[in-house]
Structure 1
Amino acid sequence: MNFLHNDLGFLNSGAVVEVSLDHAANVRLMDAGNFQSYRQGGQHQFFGGEARRSPIRLRVPQSGHWHVAIDLGGRAGTIRAGVRVFS
């Protein structure tokens, strides 16, 4: 699976992750364990989902190491995205 990845490092609970997209895509905010499962094609839990408008803002639910993955859900094409974190 093709996806864009941003390793956000350690974030505190309540931080806001803002993802700007050039068109609709799936945006997944995941902890390290779930990201590893996602990369391997396994079951995983995430915050977010299909983003039809931009930017999308996701609140970090608990302190820890976080990742953002952006994909087109198997559709053909490319996407450009920007990721910012607000404390």
Structure 2
Amino acid sequence: MHAKSFDLGILDRDTVVTVVVRARANIRLMTEVNYLAYRRRQLYKMLGGVALTPELKLTVPTTGHWFLVVDVDGLATPLLTPKVSVAR
């Protein structure tokens, strides 16, 4: 599986994370604990899903350490370079 991971650091609740992709991709916003479970291929929780539009905005639900993963697992799409921005 090809994935791009972004360590977003500590984000406050209601921070908006914007992801821009040029093709369909899985967008996964996860806490540090869930990110580690994802990496170990264990059960994890996330916000996001398949981006069907070029821009996806996710709102951080709680203050904490957050990670963003963009991958094409299960999709017939080559992974392109996503652009990620955080509005604090």
TM-score normalised by the chain length of structure 2: 0.93
Deviation at 1:75, TM superposition (A): 4.0
Displacement, 1:78? Answer: 2.4
Question: Is there any run of 5+ residues in structure 1 with no aligned partner, and where?
Answer: none
Q: C-alpha displacement at 1:22, in angstroms?
A: 1.2
- Spell out the pairing of 1:55-70 with structure 2 (5 A cutoff): 55-70=55-70
- SS class of match (1:7): strand
Aligned to 1:81: 82
Give the letter aligned to residue 18 of structure 1: T
Note the residue ranges of structure 2 that are not aligned, 5 or more in a row: none
Distance 1:61 1:70 in 2: 19
Alignment-derived partner of residue 40 in structure 2: 40
Residues 30-51 of structure 1: CA distance to partner in whole angstroms, max 9, x if unpaired? 0000000101111110000001
Deviations for 1:18-73, whole angstroms, at most 9, x for unmatched residues? 00001110000000000001011111100000011021000000000000001101
Deviation at 1:79, TM superposition (A): 1.5
RMSD over aligned Cα atoms = 1.1
The size of the alignment, in residue pairs, is: 87
For the residue of structure 2 that corresponds to 1:61, the secondary structure is: coil
Percentage of matched positions with identical amino acids: 34
The answer for the alignment partner of 1:71 in structure 2 is: 71
